[in-house]
């Protein structure tokens, strides 16, 4: 049975999943990993979703406020053993619903150009590619995306 749990970055299952995420990103990002890692701190994130299957944490995602109407989706990850089961889509949908409940109207995110499955997930979920924002503006390996949620 799949369960989505709203929590915070203090959740131990979330912390364990992002250790695995960072191991994957260290390989994918290569020399750029330190640059990206500085923007992936989670100690103060209040909006985290963890997906459980039969009590086992298998995926996660989070958001943080970007501005008064926009949240930035962060730390999306599904354990490799549980991919291609729609888990990431469910987590993303739950994050968007939670952001709507908090009166946000847009979601933005950054992912890597090498992460083709992530880009495909976001496009399938209604996100459009936008000009790279903020710290990602000059980063050619970044893909920034946006979705209106209200």
- Three-class SS state of 126: coil
Q: Where are the domains of the chain?
A: 2-105
> Residue 42's pLDDT is what?
65
Q: How many angstroms separate the CA atoms of 116 and 11, rounded?
A: 28
Please give the model's pTM, rounded to 2 decimal places: 0.92
Question: For each successive 10 residues of the chain (150 residues), what is the average pLDDT?
Answer: 95 95 78 63 85 97 97 96 96 98 98 93 98 92 95
Strand partners, 78: 59
> Residue 144's pLDDT is what?
97
> Residue 37's pLDDT is what?
58
**Host H or E run for residue 141:** none
The C-alpha angle 8, 24, 131, rounded to 5 degrees, equals 75
**56-67/70-78 β-pairing:** antiparallel
Pick the CATH number of 2-105 from 3.30.70.930, 3.20.20.140, 3.40.50.1010, 3.40.630.30: 3.40.630.30
Residue in this structure with the two tokens 């893909």, named with its chain if needed: 143
- Length reported for the chain: 150
C-alpha torsion angle, residues 19, 34, 24, 137 (rounded to 10)? 120
Q: How many angstroms separate the CA atoms of 126 and 145, rounded?
A: 10
**Host H or E run for residue 37:** helix 33-37
């Amino acid at each position: 049975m799949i369960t989505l749990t709203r929590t915070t970055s203090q959740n131990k299952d979330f912390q364990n999943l992002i250790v695995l995420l960072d191991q994957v990103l260290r390989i994918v990002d290569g020399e750029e990993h330190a640059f990206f890692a500085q923007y992936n701190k989670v100690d103060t994130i209040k909006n985290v979703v963890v997906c459980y299957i039969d009590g086992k944490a298998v995926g996660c995602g989070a958001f943080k406020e970007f501005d008064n109407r926009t949240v930035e989706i962060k730390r999306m990850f599904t354990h490799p053993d549980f991919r291609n089961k729609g888990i990431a889509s469910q987590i993303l949908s739950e994050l968007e619903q939670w952001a709507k409940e908090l009166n946000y109207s847009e979601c933005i995110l950054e992912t890597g150009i090498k992460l083709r499955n992530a880009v495909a997930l976001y496009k399938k979920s209604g996100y459009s590619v936008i000009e790279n924002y903020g710290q990602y503006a000059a980063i050619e390996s970044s893909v920034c995306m946006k979705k209106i949620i209200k």
